[in-house]
Amino acid sequence: MSLEWEQIIIAAEDTQALGHWWADVLGWVVLDDSVYEFEIRESEDRLPGIMFEKVDRAKQGKNRLHLDFRPDDQEAEVAKFLAAGATRVDVGQGDVPWEVLADPEGNEFCILAPRRT
């Protein structure tokens, strides 16, 4: 028996706006643009994806699960996300080598430092 990771689910008040925001900033493709379940992937045949599921209330408190991205150029990626509408957030991380940002609905994610070679 095998187990394949299909997607991660992010609750969203506006699935289409948030889904398009993530698709644009990541350069991913939209597979399903439903108001209730909006799905994006890096490419049509590449897993895992991200699905935005409709909820009726705003996010409250810190995420219990978040996405980490490891770029080649941390500064450039942080600038790209901020220019697209992300915000810097303090979740009590202190002085760390990664940047904690939030998407337009307040979902936290991290832009890590490049891997050391």
Number of domains in the chain: 2
- Each residue of 8-59: pLDDT tens digit? 999 999 999 999 999 999 999 999 999 999 999 999 999 999 999 999 988 8
**Average predicted confidence (pLDDT) for the chain:** 94
The label of the residue with tokens 């990771």 reads 5
- Name residue 7's beta-bridge partners: 49
The label of the residue with tokens 């493709």 reads 29
Q: Which domain holds residue 117?
A: 65-117
CATH of the domain at 48: 3.30.720
Q: Is residue 1 part of a domain?
A: no
CATH of the domain at 88: 3.10.180.10
Q: Is the pLDDT of residue 117 over 80?
A: no
43 and 19 assigned to the same domain: yes
Question: What integer pLDDT is reported at residue 59 of this predicted model?
Answer: 84
Question: What integer pLDDT is reported at residue 4 of this predicted model?
Answer: 92
Mean pLDDT to the nearest integer, 67-72: 96
Is the CA virtual torsion 27, 63, 50, 98 positive or negative?
Answer: positive
Q: In what order do the strands lie in the sheet with 67-69?
A: 67-69, 108-111, 99-102, 87-88
Q: Is the pLDDT of residue 64 over 90?
A: no
